[in-house]
């Protein structure tokens, strides 16, 4: 299993607890925290979690942790692959990501061809 290099969070007690930080330390993940009371440091993530809560968590009742995980997994598939985002020009995050990847690959091919022809 691969782990991220850095875990960024706010100053919430769930992220600053000894139990949580020890788990990150154990697998070599660097801890990065936003300044206390600095909600704008992590505004995009704060917005994401607000959306998740209002569109998924608050409207469902989960009986088990497994059920919650499965439901959230389905929601994130929807959020990234189907839900249109105004801030992305009414495209999905997946469309934006894939178009950047395709454009980057086309740019690389173009550069390789240009180098070959010169």
For range 67-74, the mean pLDDT = 97
Q: Chain centroid to CA 5: how far?
A: 14
pLDDT tens digits, 81-107 = 999 999 899 999 999 999 886 666 666
DSSP 31-52: EEEPPTT-GGGGHHHHHHHHHH
Neighbours of 79 (CB within 10 A): 19
pLDDT tens digits, 15-36 = 889 999 999 999 999 998 876 6
* pLDDT at residue 34, rounded to an integer: 73
């Amino acid at each position: 299993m691969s782990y991220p290099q850095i875990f960024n969070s706010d100053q919430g007690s769930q992220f600053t607890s000894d139990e949580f930080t020890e788990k990150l330390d154990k697998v070599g993940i660097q801890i990065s925290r936003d300044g206390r009371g600095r909600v704008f440091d992590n505004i995009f993530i704060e917005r994401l979690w607000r959306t998740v809560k209002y569109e998924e968590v608050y409207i469902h009742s989960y009986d088990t942790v497994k059920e919650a995980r499965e439901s959230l997994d389905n929601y994130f598939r929807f959020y990234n692959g189907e839900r249109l985002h105004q801030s992305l020009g009414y495209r999905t995050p997946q469309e934006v990501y894939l178009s950047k990847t395709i454009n980057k690959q086309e740019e690389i091919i173009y550069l390789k061809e240009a180098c070959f022809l010169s």
